[in-house]
Amino acid sequence: MTAIRTFAIVAAAAMLAMPSVAAAPDTIKARQANFKAMARSMKMISDELRKDTPAFAVVRREAAALDRAAGRVGRSFPRGTGAEAGVKTGARAAIWAEPAAFQAASAKLTGATKGLRAAAAGTDTGRIRAALGATGATCKGCHDQFRVQD
Amino acid sequence: MRGATTIRLWDWPVRLTHWVIVLLLPALWWTAEEGLIEQHRVLGLTLLGFVIFRLIWGFVGSESARFRNFLRGPGTVRAYLRGQATARPGHNPLGGWSVAALLAVLSAQLALGLVAQDEYGLVAGPLNPLLSFDAAETATEWHEALFNAVLALTALHVAAILYYLIVKRDNLVGPMVTGHRRADAGVEPLRPAARWAWAAAMLGAAAMVGWIALGAPPLT
């Protein structure tokens, strides 16, 4: 009886886990695309800020996109999507070994992108530039800790 | 063969540009390695100025600096390789092309650096806003890869100088420092550049770099 229950629980757990294991390469590709989209948004905002008359609508749009993408980062690293997935990934094992620290890092990112989004609601380029720099700093800070150095 | 007389061979703009490149290349490599991108950018723009200056000097400089005097046709290069000596002092027909290759690779490397960016699209060369993130990312990868060509050509350049020094007993470094070398009696002195050509070339190069550093704004 206990053996059957144990088996059932293990089987159920395995079935639950299976889709995510099978989808690991897709998960990795999706999160890489998400990061790339964030970098694109960063550049578009940065490009606008260099102009004499920035298009603040573009800045607002990209800040919002960046903030949404940032919100996905914390849940883009399910177990099984590290180097063991067999797809090229820069994700370090520390992401899963120190989940609390990783979640704190991703919270720092969303905090920064919220700040950028708030700054982008106005037209104070100095404030937007500072918020963009702060966002970039959280990118780099997390990469130093949780991404393979090349 | 040589030694009868001393002639002026390299004018000071050629020598200055040469030694600035010698100093800046390792500095550029080091700042890139250390991630000192702001310093890398300033040094890169400085080198750009000197390379543009050298390119202008290739048209208005003294005889040994001018491209049309040291970029020779394939027939002349073949004759030189068969052992026929060249008439005028300066770059030999093969060495002239190696100088052109060095300048071309440096120019390409500088151009790529102007549009390169960090991976966040945040710190970037002055012309980066002209490109999309993806195009600039590709340019950045090329900028990293092309440094190997810069290294290879530099190594070839140094190897050739060592060959001249050790095998041919001809010190090419001294003339690049002093500007003078020994030559046969009867070799006519090289034609110097026009008096103020260097000032015009420097102004032109500085204006060009300034304009690029500002992101190449429209000139209206």
Lowest mean pLDDT among A66-70, A82-86, A139-143: A82-86
**A101: domain range?**
24-146
Is pLDDT of A115 > 70? Answer: yes
Is pLDDT of A14 > 60? Answer: no
Indicate the residue type of B215.
G
Which two structure tokens, joined as six digits, stand for B157? 């350049």
Asked whether residue A19 is assigned to any structural domain, the reply reads no
> Which pLDDT band holds residue A10 (cuts at 50, 70, 90)?
low
Lowest mean pLDDT among A27-36, A121-130, B184-193, B209-218: B184-193
Is pLDDT of A55 > 90? Answer: yes
**Residue in A43, A52, A58, A109 to test binding to B, most B beta-carbons within 10 Å:** A43
Lowest mean pLDDT among A29-43, A58-72, B76-90: B76-90
Q: Tell me how far CA of residue B73 lies from CA of A32, B2, B64, B89, B197, in angstroms.
A: 51, 26, 17, 17, 27
- The whole-angstrom separation of Cα A42 and Cα A66 is 8
Asked whether residue A2 is assigned to any structural domain, the reply reads no
The pLDDT tens digits for A17-42 are 554 444 899 999 999 999 999 999 99
Instruction: Give the residue with greater pLDDT, A108 vs B119.
Output: A108
Indicate the residue type of A51.
K
Residue that is written with structure tokens 């001018």 in the block: B66
Average of per-residue pLDDT across B79-104: 88
Which two structure tokens, joined as six digits, stand for B170? 């001809």
Average of per-residue pLDDT across A63-90: 94
Is pLDDT of A15 > 90? Answer: no
Q: Yes or no: say if B150 and B107 are a contact pair by the CB < 8 Å rule.
A: no
Partner B contacted by A136 (CB < 8 A): yes
Is pLDDT of A121 > 80? Answer: yes
Total beta-carbon pairs less than 8 A apart between chain A and chain B: 36
Best CA proximity match to B86, nearest among B98, B71, B101: B71
Answer yes or no: do A136 and B120 touch at CB < 8 A: yes
Answer yes or no: do A43 and B119 touch at CB < 8 A: no
Q: Which residue on chain B is closest to A38 by alpha carbon?
A: B120
pLDDT given for residue B3 in this prediction: 62
pLDDT given for residue A23 in this prediction: 84
List of chain A residues whose C-beta atoms are within 8 Å of the C-beta of residue B120? 39, 42-43, 136, 139-140
Asked whether residue A111 is assigned to any structural domain, the reply reads yes
Alpha-carbon distance B23 to nearest alpha carbon in chain A (angstroms): 27
The pLDDT tens digits for B129-175 are 999 999 999 999 999 999 999 999 999 999 999 999 999 898 999 89
Q: Yes or no: say if B172 and B179 are a contact pair by the CB < 8 Å rule.
A: no
SS3 A141: helix
List of chain B residues whose C-beta atoms are within 8 Å of the C-beta of residue A46? 121-122, 124, 129
Asked whether residue A4 is assigned to any structural domain, the reply reads no
**pTM of the complete model beyond 0.80:** yes
Write the DSSP assignment of B156-202 as a string of letters.
Answer: HHHHHHHHHHHTS---SHHHHHHSEEEE-TTPPPPPPPPTTHHHHHH
List of chain A residues whose C-beta atoms are within 8 Å of the C-beta of residue B215? 50
Q: Yes or no: say if B182 and B169 are a contact pair by the CB < 8 Å rule.
A: no
Asked whether residue A8 is assigned to any structural domain, the reply reads no
> A52: phi > 0 → left, psi -120 to 50 → alpha, else beta; which?
alpha
CATH classification at residue A106:
1.20.120.10
The pLDDT tens digits for B20-77 are 999 999 999 999 999 899 999 999 999 999 999 999 999 999 999 999 988 988 988 8
Alpha helices in A1-146 (DSSP H): 2-22, 24-50, 56-73, 94-97, 99-120, 125-146
Asked whether residue A121 is assigned to any structural domain, the reply reads yes
Answer yes or no: do B122 and A40 touch at CB < 8 A: no
pLDDT given for residue B190 in this prediction: 82
Mean pLDDT of chain B: 92
Cβ atoms within 10 Å, residue A87: 15
Q: What is the dihedral of CA B144, A45, A136, B109, to 10 degrees?
A: 10
pLDDT given for residue A8 in this prediction: 63
**Residue in B120, B132, B141 to test binding to A, most A beta-carbons within 10 Å:** B120
Alpha-carbon distance A130 to nearest alpha carbon in chain B (angstroms): 12
Helical pair B37-60 and B93-115, crossing angle rounded to 10 deg: 140
Could you tell me which residues come within 8 angstroms of residue A110 by beta carbon, excluding any fewer than 6 positions away? A67, A70, A71, A73, A74
Asked whether residue A17 is assigned to any structural domain, the reply reads no
- The whole-angstrom separation of Cα A146 and Cα A97 is 10
pLDDT given for residue B58 in this prediction: 96
Could you tell me which residues come within 8 angstroms of residue B30 by beta carbon, excluding any fewer than 6 positions away? B36
- The whole-angstrom separation of Cα B165 and Cα A8 is 82
**Residue in A46, A109, A135 to test binding to B, most B beta-carbons within 10 Å:** A46
Alpha-carbon distance B114 to nearest alpha carbon in chain A (angstroms): 14
Query: Which of A 59-98 lie inside 8 A of B, CB atoms?
Result: none
Q: Report the domain count for chain A.
A: 1
Is pLDDT of A111 > 90? Answer: yes
Asked whether residue A12 is assigned to any structural domain, the reply reads no
Average of per-residue pLDDT across B195-200: 92
Is pLDDT of B1 > 50? Answer: no
Of A39, A51, A133, which is closest to B121 when you measure between CB atoms? A39
> Which pLDDT band holds residue B188 (cuts at 50, 70, 90)?
confident
Partner B contacted by A47 (CB < 8 A): yes
